[in-house]
Amino acid sequence: MLLAFDIGNTNIKTAIFNNGNLVQEWRIHTDAKRTGDEYFSILRTLFKDIELDIKLINNAIISSVVPQLIGPFVIVTQRFLNKKPIIVGPDIYEKLPIKIPKSAVHEIGTDLLCDALQAWNTFHSACIVADFGTALSFTAIDNNANIAGIAIAPGIGTALNSLFNNTAQLPSVSLEIPHTSLGTNTIECIQSGILYGYKGLVEGMILQMKKDLEKQTNVKITDIHTIATGGLNSMLSPITKVFEKLDKMLTLNGLYSIAEYTLK
């Protein structure tokens, strides 16, 4: 069994895999001020709730975009398993089929690397991953498993929160797709601006990346696959057909795949 931690800016996804199959997943709010002891206490309670036998877990892996939480989760892993975890970082990149530009080796978000690896495992050809998280990221992979480039924009939730926090008269609204882009009240106006606005952003960004990928690598635009992941990945699905596949598990499955490559 594998214990996997995907530490994001908003949530920490904890997963248990058994022979490649997801057994259990939890989401914990990310708090960079918590200690390893505090996270250990939280996770121990969650594990007890499902009567998980820790002795069945052989290895652990950590992907983190919050550097200050790597240390606490190393402590968590050592307390549970009495061994060090695999930490996704430059030390293991040479073991992976995905190739990272030299300029990005020490900069790329490890969550995006997980996305890229699993997208490559899914299509085995050129593809673009859109990850709808705290940030909205687009990762392009060419036909030779090279990460060709990444684009990053504010996530949908991040943009929405910024709008509320920086305006005096706009209320908090639920993210529901309005029946038209022509809002006639404040709630519909915000919903239209955010959701139809992000539809345009996503479709335009993917089209531009496809054009640039074709120009740089000679892959045909029609041969470039698209996949979406992240907590809000399904938000736009009713109003856009830009994605071939939606996969909320893409990052976690990519983390499992990285562990498999590393432990070979």
Active site positions, annotated: 111
DSSP state of 84: P
DSSP state of 224: -
Scan for tokens 């519909």, then name that residue.
188
DSSP 118-143: HHHHHHSS-EEEEEESSEEEEEEE-T
Q: Nearest 5°: CA angle at 55, between 30 and 48?
A: 50
Scan for tokens 């430059």, then name that residue.
90
Give the span between the Cα atoms of 264 and 261, in whole angstroms. Answer: 6
Helices within the chain (DSSP H only): 36-49, 70-81, 110-123, 156-165, 186-191, 197-217, 250-263
Give the span between the Cα atoms of 145 and 143, in whole angstroms. Answer: 6
Give the span between the Cα atoms of 163 and 172, in whole angstroms. Answer: 9
Q: CB–CB of 132/233 below 8 Å?
A: yes
DSSP state of 95: G
**Token digits for 20?**
């490649």
Strands 21-29 and 11-18, by their bridges, are antiparallel
